């Protein structure tokens, strides 16, 4: 087992956040928009819709170099102080060299080792699953939802659930109910993994908004343990706050894993897939240096369709994953957001495409978020199983083979990725037996149908 670093230079980063160059946030955004576009041209980065998994290693490496350049030029913006945390190239390189290549997640018989994966790596990816960014009904439904993931033998970690209400009270940022929700979510996650017979399983997060509220989830007896983790978000794009840095200070002293959560918007400030890719690399590097992150969640979102499983999204995910795998030990986790909902074959096809792309590109896995995360209780363990199993099946596949599969696979669903047209499916309660937290025959039959389609194209689950 690798021991986590406790060398985070909190005092130094805080000093920079308080004394760094002053800039209005709107001016920082404008500078990012301008320089991202220019740096893409300087490094010759080009999106090709016919090559979903890029095979040009020179361009892959240029994405990494461009992302590092963007971070060095712009810095990491602190919203609290309106100042820029400036970084030096030597300290970025020092962090990259010092990162471990494996983490042990969870404890005892339920622990799993997550490795730093490389391009075309035969090592199977680890999956962090759960109701990714999707509202879930409180109480027994939430516990059974998490249990539906934990009961899947292929799932390695659960968590990341969001509640609409707590004790019937709407949860608002910064309210007492949000603090109560954080503590309750952690306890319910412990209940779910215990019911599934995997009490030592890694819990990856409690999804409340305020960093201050998240601290309430940390408890070895009843909440998140040092063998668990929590996500610490970056704001869009390349931004943090003193509250987020303060959360990291507490997490490091507690000893749990720090997950750097990025939600880059494809079609937002960083532009198209090329600009989004280099901005995302910069956010990984900022998370490593400023957050001392153990691993990094790449939650790419299309500004129009709220998914990351179309050609634009998959290309961006792939080139980011490859650039990090070839040039660093930054463990990137693909957070799979899909357009379709549970009970729909389209959702399984989206998850399969994401799993293949991320696995071949050197990433681990997270998901799935269905319907763009917009519909309550539209999430189950079956689509997470598909994401993981597709990733395992693709481990060791070369990029040309994976591209051959994806060229035939994407036309099966890409005409419906528009969020207004994609099928919404059914809720967890409609697709599962609540008493056993097991999927019904209809949903299992669709899973078997889709893996049969994959087998016909050369990927065996």
% of the chain beyond a pLDDT of 70: 98
Which tokens in the block code for residue 281?
């690399």
Question: Is pLDDT at 302 greater than 50 in this prediction?
Answer: yes
Over range 124-137, report the average pLDDT: 94
At 160-188, the pLDDT tens digits run: 788 989 999 999 999 999 999 999 999 99
| Measured distance CA(287)–CA(121) in Å, rounded | 24
Mean of pLDDT over the chain: 95
Q: Where are the domains of the chain?
A: 102-456
Which tokens in the block code for residue 233?
């978000």
Output the pTM of the full model: 0.96
At 204-239, the pLDDT tens digits run: 999 999 999 999 999 999 999 999 999 999 999 999
Over range 93-107, report the average pLDDT: 95
For 191, 199, 206, the CA distances from 222, given in Å and listed in that order, are 9, 12, 13
* Listed range (103-112, 178-187, 365-374, 392-401) with the worst mean pLDDT: 365-374
Q: Which of 97, 4, 8 is nearest to 294 (CA)?
A: 4
Strand partners, 127: 365
Over range 3-8, report the average pLDDT: 45
Strand partners, 85: 76
Give the CATH number of domain 102-456; options: 3.30.70.120, 3.20.20.460, 3.30.70.20, 3.40.720.10.
3.20.20.460
């Amino acid at each position: 087992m690798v021991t986590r670093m406790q060398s985070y230079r909190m005092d130094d980063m805080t000093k920079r956040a308080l004394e760094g160059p002053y800039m209005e946030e709107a001016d920082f955004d404008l500078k990012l928009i301008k320089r991202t576009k220019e740096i893409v041209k300087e490094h010759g980065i080009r999106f090709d819709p016919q090559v979903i998994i890029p095979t040009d290693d020179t361009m892959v490496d240029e994405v990494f170099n461009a992302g590092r350049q963007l971070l060095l030029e712009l810095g990491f913006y602190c919203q609290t102080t309106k100042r820029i945390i400036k970084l030096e190239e030597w300290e970025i390189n020092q962090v990259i060299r010092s990162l471990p290549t494996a983490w042990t997640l969870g404890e005892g018989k339920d622990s799993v080792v997550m490795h730093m994966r490389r391009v075309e790596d035969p090592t199977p990816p680890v999956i962090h699953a759960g109701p990714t960014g999707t509202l879930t009904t409180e109480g027994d439904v939430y516990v059974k939802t998490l249990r539906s993931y934990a009961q899947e033998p292929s799932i390695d970690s659960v968590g990341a659930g969001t509640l609409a209400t707590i004790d019937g009270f709407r949860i608002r940022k910064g309210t007492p109910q949000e603090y109560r929700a954080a503590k309750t979510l952690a306890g319910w996650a412990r209940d779910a993994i215990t019911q599934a017979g995997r009490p030592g399983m890694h819990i990856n997060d409690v999804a409340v908004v305020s960093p201050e509220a998240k601290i309430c989830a940390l408890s070895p007896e009843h909440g998140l343990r040092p063998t668990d983790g929590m996500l610490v978000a970056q704001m869009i794009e390349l931004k943090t706050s003193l509250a987020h840095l303060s959360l990291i200070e507490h997490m490091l002293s507690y000893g749990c894993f720090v997950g750097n959560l990025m939600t880059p918007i494809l079609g937002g400030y960083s532009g198209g897939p090329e600009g989004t890719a280099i901005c995302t690399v910069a956010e990984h590097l900022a998370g490593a240096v400023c957050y001392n992150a153990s691993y990094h969640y790449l939650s790419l979102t299309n500004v129009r369709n709220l998914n990351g499983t179309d050609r634009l999204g998959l290309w961006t995910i792939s080139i980011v994953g490859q650039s990090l795998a070839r040039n660093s030990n930054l463990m990137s986790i693909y957070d799979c957001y899909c357009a379709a909902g549970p009970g729909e074959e389209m959702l399984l096809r989206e998850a399969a495409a994401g799993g293949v792309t991320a696995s071949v590109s050197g990433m681990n896995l997270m998901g799935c978020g269905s319907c763009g995360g917009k519909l309550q209780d539209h999430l189950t363990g079956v689509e997470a199983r598909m994401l993981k199993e597709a990733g395992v099946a693709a481990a060791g596949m070369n990029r040309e083979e994976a591209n051959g599969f994806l060229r035939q696979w994407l036309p099966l669903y890409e005409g419906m990725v528009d969020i207004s047209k994609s099928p919404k499916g059914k809720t967890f309660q409609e697709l599962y037996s609540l008493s056993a937290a097991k999927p019904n025959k209809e949903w299992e039959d669709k899973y078997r149908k889709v893996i049969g389609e994959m087998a016909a194209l050369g990927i065996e689950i």
